[in-house]
Amino acid sequence: MGMDEALDLRGLKCPLPAMLARKKLAQLPPATALTVMADDPMAVVDIPHMCHGEGHAVESVASRDGYNEFRIRKI
């Protein structure tokens, strides 16, 4: 089982959450799970789109109290 990482991007506006999530994923070893928290409404479009383009797997998107939580697996 790989390590899990978390990235709190709440308070940041598009396109920063997707850009910073991509930068963080680039630093992680393959198979690492990254949990990203973001409250920008565009993040629900931008983060999965970035993951698709980069080849990472979006395992889940959960709506929390005032923000969304993305679980991404680095491929």
Over the stretch 24-61, which tens digit does the pLDDT of each residue have? 999 999 999 999 999 999 999 999 999 999 999 999 99
Q: Any catalytic annotation for residue 51?
A: no
Q: How far is CA 70 from each of CA 27, 28, 41, rounded to the nearest angstrom? A: 18, 16, 13
Distance of alpha carbon 25 from alpha carbon 32, whole angstroms: 9
Among residues 7, 12, 14, 58, which one is catalytic? 14
Name the pTM for this structure. Answer: 0.94
The answer to whether 45 and 51 are in contact (CB under 8 A) is: no
* pLDDT (mean) for 10-37: 97
CA torsion through residues 20, 3, 66, 68, sign:
positive
Asked whether residue 12 carries a pLDDT value surpassing 50, the answer given is yes
CATH topology of domain 4-73: Translation Initiation Factor IF3 (3.30.110)
pLDDT confidence band for 1 (50 / 70 / 90): very low
